[in-house]
Structure 1
């Protein structure tokens, strides 16, 4: 079959017959220049056009494959990322609020840690006598108040951790959020505490 510009054009546009496709592919791989009736310049231009078209088709195919892989990745990873973010938010909220006791029920009281160890006190208002440096955690979702035996009173926000200390006979309450996170203030906890009464 003689390769003509019309056949090459059909080949480039994908409308050539099977016989024309076979003849063109044989022609493209052939080194016999005498079998052609085309001018060598025209022949070179046509060969270049065919190879350019094949290259363009290969590039389009690669783009298509990458696009499919990218969409699959989004479909697979998006729910996974959302689930991980949801889990992370849940953990942060759980730790921040710190409302759950060891048995899983919601605590309604304060956790006071001294050198004697931690004790949980239930109720909303407390009167305490202490010395040294204490950690006080409001584990509930309600405001709590502490009155010291020297008459000083403090209100504790829900879910917050505080440090109560005595300096020169005076008591001070410091919220943990105002302290440097690099320091481990729990290591300073010492002294004793006694809950005298729940106040009304």
Structure 2
């Protein structure tokens, strides 16, 4: 009996991994589009801080790295990638089964826009707290560097995980696995961004 159950468990894990990759892929692609926009400094007029330079107790509200460009690019790019993915999945039952939208979910493009919005909105509390602690954008405090790095990498991912849990017919385990896969991809992209020439690291 134990031997018979092992393949079933393995198949279940494989299915969840495939679902995590499928759910994360369009958000990852949108994120790479965002990286390209940043590195090539596309639409520089939109690279203005969303806090408008406002300050709270003498410190920036959010900082120069949180710009209208990122606030617009991520939702727009994710709207396109998720709409495209769902259109492709409509022609392949096996793919459609990996990430069906919730019964009362809005159209696919709107689901994408909401996921992209969740991505950027989830970063704002972290930025707000760091500015209150006097930590400059793109840096970390001498203490608890590991904890700060972890939060920096998972804040947006957690926001996306919450969004897909609400907008897709998946369970919490699937959302958590998607978050883990997304976090790993986020770290990889962040490492890549660090090796870029400094002039390519424009505000988001």
TM-score (norm 2): 0.21
As a proportion of its length, which structure holds more helix?
2
Question: Which one has more relative contact order, counting CA pairs under 8 Å at least 6 apart?
Answer: 2
Give 1 or 2 for the bigger CA radius of gyration.
1
Larger fraction in strand: 1
